[in-house]
Structure 1
Amino acid sequence: MDQHSLGASFANRARPASRFGANISFLDLVQGIGLLAVILLGCLVMTVASPVFATTRNLENVLQSATIIAVVAIGQTFVILVAGIDLSVASVLVLSSVLSVGLVEFNGWSPGLAILAALGTGALFGLANGLAVTKLRIPALIATLATMSIGRGLAYIFSGGQNIAPVPDIFVDLQDARILGVPAVIVLTLALAAIAQFVLSRTRFGRSVYATGGNALAARLAGIRTDRVIIATYVISGLMAGIAGLLITARFEAGAATAAQGMELAVIAAVVIGGVSLFGGEGNMGGMLLGVLLLGLVQNAVNLLDVPPNYDSVVSGLVIAAAAALDVYRRSYLEAGLRRRVIAAKEAKAEKPK
């Protein structure tokens, strides 16, 4: 058996559960419906508990706040799909934010050039993470923890530890813009998620991402350049964090040097709640968006119910732990059981006399 045939054999055995069979797709559908049901139930409870919750202003505020986490989560989804992790996203976000304003305010750059520099910086951080993980073989947790510290430190050095204002008019216009009555930042976020889902589901690169996360060895034997795939996912993550930095600049109308403390954990929680497996190879953007929305509603509920800030951290930690436990349970028990049923059904069909 040649190398590619061997790789294909391994790949068939280790394909992601979301592609294993109709029953697994049904499980993904049930999970999505379950998330949606929890969101609707939570909205109903909060409508009764707080007269402010169901107002247009509050719901729009929830969605606009969620857009920032959602854009970062798009990039994080790519990384987690290849069984990686990116802890540097919040630091890259604030560095992008202060550069997009500070390069104009302090250095006289044009707003367009400053924005390109901010996005390029995000992509460079992603490239550094990808190279550290693939070429230096540094564990992703350690590599991105290092760039997290570097990015936040550079943001503080450049800004002097202070938010930078005023912002160029382009950021004010972005925050105020509406498309068919919907805030433009929400439309932009949905467009980015749609593009990302198209890439994952309809392109060769997307199939390589799932294959690499499902079984990197099998993917390599099948001819996929897994190192390049992993590097590309980290670059995407850095770029998405850079875009989120521009969105948070528009929202706060300042280069937000002190923002996004702990956001990397919220992003990971939202992605996992949305059904993207921490083990890699499973998940999609639709589920991720539901996870982001659920987490945004939880944070909004905490604020509206006047829960003390310290308890807010406890709630966030419990949500993260529950999401990770659910992922392990789903992968270890539910999907394994469904696989056995699918295999048993195929064997029974094969043995059935014609």
Structure 2
Amino acid sequence: MTQRAPTQPGGLAALRGKISFIDLMQSAGLMAVILLGCAVMSFLSPVFATVRNIENVLQSATIIAVVAIGQTFVILVAGIDLSVASVLVLSSVLSVGLVQFQGWPPELAILAALVAGLVIGLVNGLAVTKLKIPALIATLATMTIARGLAYIYSGGTNIAPVPRIFVDLQASRIFGVPGVIVLTLALALIAQIVLSRTQFGRSVYATGGNPLAARLAGIKTERVIIATFMISGLMAAIAGLLITARFEAGAATAAQGMELAVIAAVVIGGVSLFGGEGNMGGMLLGVLLLGLVQNAVNLLNVPPNWDSVVSGLVIAAAAALDVYRRNYLEAGMRKKVIAAKASKPAKQP
């Protein structure tokens, strides 16, 4: 018989409610920072508040956002996936190259690109769960391999022209909103529903929060971890299709260092590096904030090398905030819940 971890009615639910309030306040804080930053940039640069610039920021952010959706699943189980940018590039060159070089139908080439992302995600998941290789090392290896394969296949250059389907995707609009933005929001909504409304989503949080307790509760934690890496690979492959549409080429040389930007955006959005905490809404705010920072650097003509410095400082600040929230704020909430339960009079039989 499967052994299940004991539950305490009211205690865990109350604690989760308090932590959710912290997450809500963090999201409100992020939104306040974004609005303040927009106000400052509107004053410093007349270009910032134009429709064209805002649309450009959002379209650029969609690529990182789609990758970040998958990365969020992995980080929620206390993992990390460094291979996402390389998977994106491999997906991009395959989706165009298989049409140009092998004469495949565009739909079949796109399917092959998505399958490639899933396979690499599966390899990452198996390496972490079965071979017990740390996720950092396993995905570093697949990162190198996937980008190397992309260079070999493409000859190290971008592949063009792209099939018509990519041109139509980039040009599409739904109620006046660029189709790639709508697609990104739809993917994030689906991911949030999966996390919050399904047994798999609850298993993801449980596996990241306390793997031992999750196993005692009957959760197949290894399967959950493998599934999260496969989701990450799939999302990176989808982002590869989006970047192909944006650049109108199989982007063999794109996304250098994107994996760090993705991790930064996820952590800024309140997804804990320790696992078990975070949501898609906060992640999207993190992506938007990072996109606005990069756009501000460009509009203010900051030297390119300082762009990396600013991004690094943002990553460090996000990681420090994550540690502070986990070690102090949430610990304080736990103490309050325990104290509140201890102060309640015992029920008379």
TM-score normalised over the length of structure 2 = 0.97
RMSD of Structure 2 on Structure 1 (CA) = 1.8
Match of 1:278 in 2: 273
Following superposition, the deviation at residue 117 of structure 1 comes to 0.3
Contact 1:94 1:259 in 2 (8 A): yes
Aligned partners of 2:268 and 2:318 also within 8 Å: yes
Q: What's 1:43 paired with?
A: 38
Partner residue of 2:285 out of 272, 290, 294 = 290
Instruction: Give aligned-pair identity as a percent.
Output: 80
Per-residue CA deviations over 1:179-200 (Å, capped at 9, x if unaligned) read 0000000000000000000000
Select between 23-32 and 172-181 the one with higher mean Cα deviation. Answer: 23-32
Equivalent residue letter for 1:141: L
1:66-145 to structure 2, matched below 5 A, reads 66-145=61-140
Aligned pair 1:317/2:318, yes or no?
A: no
Question: Which residue pairs with 1:255 in the alignment?
Answer: 250
TM-fit CA distance, 1:26: 1.5
| Alignment correspondent of 2:165 | 170
Residues 21-32 of structure 1: pairs in structure 2 closer than 5 A = 21-32=16-27
Alpha-carbon separation, structure 2, partners of 1:172 and 1:19: 50
Query: What CA distance in whole angstroms lies between the structure 1 residues aligned with 2:233 and 2:2?
Result: 34
**Corresponding position of 1:4:** 3
- 1:77-106 C-alpha deviation (Å, 9 max, x unpaired): 000000000000000000000000010011
Of stretches 181-190 and 217-226 in structure 1, the one that deviates more from structure 2 is: 217-226
Gaps of 5+ in 1: none
Q: For residues 40 and 208 of structure 1, what CA distance do their matches in structure 2 show?
A: 35
Contact 2:48/2:54 (CA < 8 Å) preserved in 1?
yes
Contact 1:21 1:342 in 2 (8 A): no
TM-score by length of 1: 0.95
Asked if structure 2 preserves the Cα contact closer than 8 Å seen for 1:121 and 1:242, the reply is: yes
**Does the CA contact (< 8 Å) of 2:272 and 2:278 recur in 1?**
yes
| Secondary structure, counterpart of 1:116 in structure 2 | helix
The residue number in structure 2 matching 1:332 is: 327
Name the CA shift for 1:67/1:19 in 2 (closer, same or farther; >3 Å): farther
Shift of 1:19: 7.1
> Gapped runs of 5+ residues in structure 2?
none
Aligned counterparts of 2:14 and 2:284: Cα–Cα separation in 1: 20
Assess, with a 3 A threshold, how the Cα gap between structure 1 residues 19 and 261 changes in structure 2: closer, same or farther: farther
Match of residue 188 from structure 2? 193
Q: Which residue of 2 aligns with 1:59?
A: 54
Is 2:206 the partner of 1:207?
Answer: no
Runs of 4+ in 1 over 2 A off after TM superposition: 7-10, 18-23, 349-353
